[in-house]
């Protein structure tokens, strides 16, 4: 019985990693689609999102079955409840990748990101990619050094996010209101994407150490 339980618990962990991998692919494609007005990539992200939702539901059902059939306590119980939380964060991060792809689709064949903002968004994208990549390593290894990488990347995203807002608020920004709306949303989606990585990192840290750390949270914008 115990062996079956451990195998099931392992499966929940594997499911989380699988979802995180799909979210990574979705974000890669969504950010690519934004910078290059690539409608195929955007459509792919939008249609693939259903798979992430399906896997999250499956993981949740598996977790609830484990709670019902095994009545786990202590660290096993916290692991399962934590998995429910982490799957919700990852599913939401997948939604944000889909929102980014939807911006691409709405503006196609125009490129939504103006030239002067491309370098800043490229930096934000790189940090978000580092975050989801470190989330996968953290889920696989539970080595907390990956959590620190995630917090550091989120700190840099917050600064860049503020700088996007400062830039587009300037009088001589020169783009139309539609572009201002789009860039506000894109910056916000990317900032929130990083937040979900931070949520997962805090949860894993808590499961490993039994204590909540004081990680950086959302930007104030």
Question: Which CB atom, from 141 or from 217, has the smaller least distance to a second copy?
Answer: 217
> How many whole angstroms from its chain centre is CA 118?
21
Nearer to a second copy, 121 or 146 (CB): 121
Residue with tokens 């709405």, as numbered in its chain: 106
Quick check: 61 and 80 in contact, CB under 8 A? no
Least Å distance, CB 173 to a second copy, is 6
Query: By the 8 A CB rule, do 82 and 206 touch?
Result: yes
Tell me how far, at minimum, the Cβ of 44 lies from a second copy, in Å: 17
Shortest Cβ distance from residue 165 to a second copy (Å)? 6
* Least distance to a second copy, CB of residue 76, Å: 10
Task: Give Dmax over CA atoms of the chain in angstroms.
Answer: 68
**Binding region for a second copy (CB under 8 A):** 64, 67-68, 71, 73-74, 77-78, 81, 84-85, 88, 95, 102, 165, 168-171, 173, 176-178, 180-181, 184-185, 188, 218, 220-221
Is the CB of 1 or the CB of 74 nearer to a second copy?
Answer: 74
- Nearest approach in angstroms of CB 198 to a second copy is 14
Percent composition of the chain: helix, strand, coil (DSSP 3-state, to 5)? 85, 0, 15
Closest CB to a second copy among 13 and 173? Answer: 173
Count other C-beta atoms under 10 Å from residue 175's C-beta: 13
Cα of 104 vs its chain's centroid, Å: 18
Q: What whole-number distance in Å separates Cα of residue 179 and Cα of residue 114? A: 8
Task: Closer to a second copy by CB, 32 or 76: give it.
Answer: 76
Q: How far apart are CA 159 and CA 18, in angstroms?
A: 30
């Amino acid at each position: 019985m115990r062996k079956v339980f451990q195998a099931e618990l392992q499966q929940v962990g594997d499911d989380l990693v699988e979802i995180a991998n799909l979210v990574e692919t979705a974000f890669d494609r969504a950010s690519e689609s934004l910078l290059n007005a690539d409608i195929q990539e955007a459509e792919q992200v939008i249609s693939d999102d259903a798979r992430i939702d399906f896997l999250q539901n499956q993981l949740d059902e598996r977790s609830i079955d484990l709670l019902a059939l095994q009545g786990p306590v202590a660290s096993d119980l916290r692991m399962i409840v934590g998995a429910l939380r982490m799957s919700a964060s990852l599913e939401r991060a997948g939604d944000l990748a889909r929102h980014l792809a939807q911006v691409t689709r709405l503006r196609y064949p125009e490129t939504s990101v103006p030239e002067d903002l491309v370098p800043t968004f490229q930096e934000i994208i790189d940090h978000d990619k580092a975050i989801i990549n470190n989330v996968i390593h953290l889920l696989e290894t539970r080595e907390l050094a990956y959590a620190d990488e995630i917090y550091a990347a989120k700190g840099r995203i917050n600064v860049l996010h503020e700088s996007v807002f400062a830039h587009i608020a300037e009088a001589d920004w020169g783009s139309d209101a539609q572009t201002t709306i789009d860039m506000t949303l894109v910056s916000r989606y990317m900032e929130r994407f990083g937040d979900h990585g931070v949520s997962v990192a805090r949860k894993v840290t808590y499961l490993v150490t039994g204590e909540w750390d004081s990680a950086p949270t959302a930007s104030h914008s």
